[in-house]
Structure 1
Amino acid sequence: LDKHGFSGMSEEDIAVRKFREYLRINTEQPIPDYYGCQAFLYTLADELGIARTSHEMVPGKPIIIMTIPGSEPALPALMLYSHTDVVPTFRVR
């Protein structure tokens, strides 16, 4: 195994494994685990060598920013945005 436990896995397998880890974090309203999500995204950024930071405009609701510098600084920047919380689900009894 490599340092992340992915020896012999394809890039797609690794992506699916990471996505499943991310989905296991309970970000369901009304009490989403924003800090658990932040920790996961920080770890992922660190593994990939991506600069990351966070800001809290509202206490308890971190905004996570990851930055990947481009190879051509003269070109326009690209921003991708996503939110981490989800609406409540209705569990089948």
Structure 2
Amino acid sequence: MEIIDKKMNCSICGKEIIVTVTSIGVTHQMIEGFVCEDCYRERLKELREKVEDEKFERIKEFMKSDKETLKREVETKEPTPEVQGQC
């Protein structure tokens, strides 16, 4: 197995990058989808923000439904008679 450094272009911005690959299974295939570190970090940042936004929306919806559930429980709960102390 031979390790090869290949010059390629970032699939997002086109910047030239060096990709280290092994000679097994890649000699007859076109290698695609490699990105430079800057594009990788930017995409990772976007994905993190998207996940945080989705997480916030799910929590907000849960809190809203939980509030409605508690409100219904309070409205449907019948008052319990108070027990008077005996002398």
Sort the TM-score into its range (normalised by shorter chain): under 0.3
TM-score by length of 2: 0.22
Give the number of the structure whose alpha-carbon radius of gyration is greater: 2
Q: Which has the higher contact order (CA 8 A, sep 6+)?
A: 1
TM-score by length of 1: 0.21
